[in-house]
Amino acid sequence: MRAVIFGASGLLGRSVMRAFNDMTVTGTGFSRTAPGLARADATSADDIDRLLGRAQPDVVVNCVGERRPQRWAATPDQARDKNVDAARLLAQSTRQCGARLLHISTDYVFDGKAAPYRPDSPPNPLNAYGRWKLLAEHAVRAACPDAAILRLPVLYGPAQFAAETNLTELARQVGARAPVELDDVCVRYPTHTDEAAEVCRWLAGALVRGQRLGAVAHWSAEQGFTKYQMAVLIADRFGLPAGHIRPGEADAVSGDRPIDCRLDCRDLPEALGTVRRHFTTEFPPVVEPWLLPAEPISTLRKDFHAPCV
């Protein structure tokens, strides 16, 4: 199988590259380059056509997007281009070259007031990112009707910089020991990028085999946590003080962050349950490099028991 992964330099794309490593795979970066990645601008039809013409893929995975709130606020036009225009152009080119498309979307298309959400639950995004991602879904559907759209919740995994994931940013705040208030109302379902990438792999295979799939699929980890709960868990696991972390409700009262977008994943096959990773066992190696203690962290607490949340 020949695959092209757009956004392969990003958080999810790096895991997807690893999960597809037994295929003939071309990955793209944009501002970040790495050995083996091609540079392509997903907002340029010429760039996309050139790359797909060269790679002749069976399947294209679109991991391009702009999900950082600071960027939506600072450069909304660029963020919209990356989320919506890129999705439309990629869908058009993928269809023209006869490949199948897997497009990545988000649980933020929902308002968080009526979880769990099935793939056909009515979307109602609360913020610009969610609205753009919903517009992107519509654009993908219009340009490439047989594409699969995979909605995912907040992701965590090996990060290149602390702010790359919510979780590693929380780790930095735990380690920094400066007073901080963290939302303790909105529930998130942090899902490991490698787990999401395995689901992408399964979906890509199913698309290429011509297996009938619903237009939209959901995948999510099962454990839900607020940011405050995650921070306390991190502190507890590494035996760090947590007195500087206070529970708050900033996200909930902002009005643009959904309270609980739990995704109902039952439409994907039960066999995929084997790719599940449990947050409480998977998060320590991901956060450890970002705790920024004065001295190295010696050992994990052996008496640590994750609370059931």
Which of 13, 125, 130, 175 is the binder for ligand NAP (CB under 6 A)? 13
Geometric angle at alpha carbon 43, from 38 and 49, rounded to 5°: 60
Is residue 29 part of the contact set for ligand NAP (CB under 6 A)?
yes
3-state secondary structure of 108: helix
Could you tell me the smallest distance in angstroms from the CB atom of residue 242 to ligand NAP? 24
Would you say 30 or 279 has its CB closer to ligand NAP? 30
Transcribe 186-218 into DSSP letters: SBB--EEHHHHHHHHHHHHHHHHHT----SEEE
Is residue 65 part of the contact set for ligand NAP (CB under 6 A)?
yes
Query: In what helix (H) or strand (E) does residue 39 lie, and over which residues does it extend?
Result: strand 37-39
Could you tell me the smallest distance in angstroms from the CB atom of residue 297 to ligand NAP? 25
Determine the length of the chain: 309
Could you tell me the smallest distance in angstroms from the CB atom of residue 42 to ligand NAP? 4
Q: Which residues pair with 245 in a beta bridge?
A: 180
Cβ pair 131, 144 in contact under 8 A: no
Distance between CA 202 and CA 61 in Å, rounded? 12
Closest-CA residue to 199 (of 261, 256, 155, 142):
155
Q: With contacts defined by CB under 6 A, name the span among 64-72, 167-175, 211-219, 295-303 that binds ligand NAP.
A: 64-72
Which of 19, 52, 61, 82 is the binder for ligand NAP (CB under 6 A)? 82
Is residue 234 part of the contact set for ligand NAP (CB under 6 A)?
no
Q: With contacts defined by CB under 6 A, name the span among 27-35, 88-96, 116-124, 172-180 that binds ligand NAP.
A: 27-35
Would you say 104 or 291 has its CB closer to ligand NAP? 104
Q: With contacts defined by CB under 6 A, name the span among 118-126, 150-158, 170-178, 201-209 that binds ligand NAP.
A: 150-158
Tokens 């977008």 belong to 261
- Write out the E strands in 47-188: 59-62, 100-106, 148-152, 155-156, 180-183
Whether 129 is catalytic: yes
Which of 92, 93, 94, 106 is the binder for ligand NAP (CB under 6 A)? 106
Q: Which of 129, 156, 189, 228 is catalytic?
A: 129
Q: Give catalytic residues, as residue numbers.
A: 129
Query: Which residues of the chain form contacts with ligand NAP (CB under 6 A)?
Result: 7, 9-13, 29-32, 40-43, 63-65, 67, 82, 86, 104, 106, 133, 152, 154-155
